């Protein structure tokens, strides 16, 4: 696979890195197993001190990244490691555990553009990754560093996608994996991925927040490497979503990037990437990064509205968008920083709004999971508030694939999702329930005629 050698970047050295505490700024070369700052206990981020003395050359980076698209080496074929100059350095290219993650499409959304009144509307579909969610971009980096550190076991708490991704990358890298998920609160598709890739999968009688709390205690007592997004290597990998997006847009910044918010790792990673791109001269203008949450899992919305972003307001989370059913988001401070630094907004959307937006994206021929659809629902609100203007360019980050949660889609189309009378009239035209018929030509032709009439 890696018979040909990868492309090196003239004048650009891969990044030496250090850990920096986001609260007290303490710098260290090593992280403890819980990835918390030793002096103050807050979260760590990865920083590249060498960039101060010798900034990587922006044009050199752009052309190296473009040239690597022609290479057949495993690290160049990865849409994450292709950007490795701005990631923690590999000792050698063969070290990367990769499934050719990244390389995800940027789609135009003409139908949703008409609905929202924003003609330049795009979707960056991270559900087109190897395990069908955005988690793979972070996992390839963090799993690689877990193996380098000599760990045999990796572990995570998850609402499903992290566990699916971790299990796959651990299996590829020859490590064992331990998954903690809330019993009955993750989709079967995601659970089946973890099982298929050999994870030891524990369904705990608690919610995601309970699983994460337990994991954080576990890593202090057992030699397991934690792969939640508290792990700053995960966020470094997830930054590449933004690098790839800007490359796809010809390095012209969109006005807005809109992401779903759960544990708030992804918004933190994208925010970090945008600031790094600006500081390194890769882009001249910062897009605004906005975060959308489900009304029933709106910890960041409340943290900003009730505490002006100074202290976390936790909630008892409930939403059918189970991927973001999180009430005590670990990376809230990083996300607040990303919103403030880019001037983005934070909004919440209802269950009906999520279901409607998911069906509208589906009607474009693009399948996403419910958590991803909060972005379109949120955009509608931001347009109404005047925060997003019709002439602006907007990118929605779709975080997971439609097939991640087929129950949601089937319940929606069958009309089993909401209690009678509670749903908006806007939902009916979007529903396409399966039709049971006698196996006769007549019956099928009649159905076709009825469907044609209903459309016109």
Least Å distance, CB 209 to ligand F0G, is 10
**366 binding ligand F0G? (CB under 6 A):** no
The residue to which tokens 């000792």 are assigned: 91
**266 binding ligand F0G? (CB under 6 A):** yes
Least Å distance, CB 87 to ligand F0G, is 18
- Here the tokens at position 298 are 């709106």
Nearer to ligand F0G, 56 or 378 (CB): 378
Window contacting ligand F0G (CB under 6 A); options: 4-12, 263-271, 275-283, 430-438: 263-271
Least Å distance, CB 189 to ligand F0G, is 11
Kind and range of the H or E run holding 446: helix 441-455
- Here the tokens at position 245 are 């997006």
Asked if residues 80 and 240 have their Cβ atoms less than 8 Å apart, the reply is yes
**409 binding ligand F0G? (CB under 6 A):** no
Number of Cβ within 10 Å of residue 157's Cβ equals 31
Within positions 136 to 165, which residues make up the interface with ligand F0G, using CB under 6 A?
158-162
Site string for ligand F0G, 315-344 (x = CB under 6 A): --------xx--------------------
Among 116, 253, 263, 393, binds ligand F0G (CB under 6 A): 263
Strand segments, DSSP code E, in 48-199 are 106-108, 120-125, 153-157, 176-182
Q: Is 227 helix (H, G, I), strand (E, B) or coil?
A: coil
The radius of gyration of the chain from alpha carbons, rounded to an integer in Å, stands at 22
Least Å distance, CB 156 to ligand F0G, is 7
Measured CA to CA, the distance from residue 233 to residue 348 in angstroms comes to 29
Window contacting ligand F0G (CB under 6 A); options: 43-51, 64-72, 85-93, 259-267: 259-267
Q: What share of the chain is helix, strand, coil (3-state, %, to 5)?
A: 45, 15, 40
**Measured between alpha carbons, how far is residue 218 from residues 33, 146, 178 in Å?**
10, 16, 11
Nearer to ligand F0G, 76 or 209 (CB): 209
Within positions 205 to 234, which residues make up the interface with ligand F0G, using CB under 6 A?
229
**301 binding ligand F0G? (CB under 6 A):** no
**264 binding ligand F0G? (CB under 6 A):** yes
Nearer to ligand F0G, 265 or 296 (CB): 265
Per-residue burial over 389-428, b = 16 or more CB atoms within 10 Å of its CB, e = otherwise: eeebbbbbbbbbbbebbeebbeebbeeebbeeeebeeebe
Size of residue set near ligand F0G by CB under 6 A: 22
**369 binding ligand F0G? (CB under 6 A):** yes
Q: Identify the CA nearest to 259 among candidates 72, 101, 123.
A: 123
Least Å distance, CB 235 to ligand F0G, is 9
Nearer to ligand F0G, 116 or 158 (CB): 158
Asked if residues 99 and 79 have their Cβ atoms less than 8 Å apart, the reply is no
First to last CA, the chain: 53
**98 binding ligand F0G? (CB under 6 A):** no
Least Å distance, CB 433 to ligand F0G, is 25
Least Å distance, CB 333 to ligand F0G, is 13
Least Å distance, CB 134 to ligand F0G, is 7
Least Å distance, CB 114 to ligand F0G, is 25
Phi-psi region of 54 (alpha: psi -120 to 50; beta: other; left: phi over 0): beta
Contact positions toward ligand F0G, by CB under 6 A?
A: 133, 158-162, 229, 260-267, 323-324, 369, 371-372, 399-400
């Amino acid at each position: 696979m890696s018979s040909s050698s990868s492309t090196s970047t003239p004048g650009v050295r891969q990044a030496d890195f250090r850990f920096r505490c986001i609260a007290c700024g303490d710098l260290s070369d090593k992280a403890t197993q819980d990835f918390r700052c030793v002096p103050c206990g807050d979260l760590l981020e990865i920083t590249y001190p060498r960039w101060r003395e010798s900034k990587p050359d922006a044009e050199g980076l752009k052309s190296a990244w473009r040239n690597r698209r022609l290479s057949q080496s495993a690290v160049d074929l990865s849409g994450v490691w292709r950007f490795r100059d701005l990631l923690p350095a590999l000792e050698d290219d063969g070290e990367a555990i990769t499934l050719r993650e990244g390389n995800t499409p940027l789609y135009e959304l003409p139908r949703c553009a008409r609905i929202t009144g924003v003609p330049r509307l795009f979707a960056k579909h991270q559900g087109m990754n190897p395990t069908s969610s955005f988690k793979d971009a972070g996992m390839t980096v963090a799993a690689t560093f877990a193996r380098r550190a000599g760990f045999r076991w990796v572990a995570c708490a998850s609402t499903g996608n992290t566990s699916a991704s971790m299990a796959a990358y651990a299996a590829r890298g020859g490590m064992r994996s331990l998954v903690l998920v809330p019993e009955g609160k993750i989709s079967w598709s995601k659970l089946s991925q973890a099982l298929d890739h050999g994870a030891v999968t524990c369904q705990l009688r608690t919610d995601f927040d309970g699983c994460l709390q337990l994991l954080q205690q576990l890593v202090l007592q057992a030699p397991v490497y934690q792969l939640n997004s508290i792990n700053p290597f995960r966020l470094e990998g997830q930054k590449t979503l933004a690098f790839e997006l800007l490359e796809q847009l010809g390095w012209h910044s969109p006005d807005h990037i809109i992401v779903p918010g759960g544990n708030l790792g992804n918004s933190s990673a994208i925010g970090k990437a945008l600031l790094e791109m600006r500081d390194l001269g890769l882009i001249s203008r910062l897009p605004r990064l906005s975060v959308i949450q489900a009304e029933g899992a709106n910890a960041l919305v409340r943290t900003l509205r009730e505490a002006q972003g100074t202290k976390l307001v936790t909630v008892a989370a409930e939403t059918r968008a189970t991927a973001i059913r999180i009430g005590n988001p670990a990376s809230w401070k990083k996300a607040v920083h990303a919103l403030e630094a880019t001037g983005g907004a934070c909004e919440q959307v209802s269950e009906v709004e999520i279901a409607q937006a998911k069906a509208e994206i589906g009607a474009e021929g693009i399948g996403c999971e419910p958590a991803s659809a909060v972005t379109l629902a949120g955009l509608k609100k931001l347009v109404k508030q005047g925060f997003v203007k019709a002439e602006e360019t907007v990118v929605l980050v779709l975080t997971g694939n439609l097939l991640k949660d087929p129950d949601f889609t089937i319940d929606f189309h069958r009309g089993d999702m909401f209690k009678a009378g509670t749903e908006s009239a806007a939902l009916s035209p979007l529903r396409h329930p399966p039709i049971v018929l006698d196996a006769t030509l007549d019956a099928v032709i009649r159905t076709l005629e009825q469907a044609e009439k209903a459309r016109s």
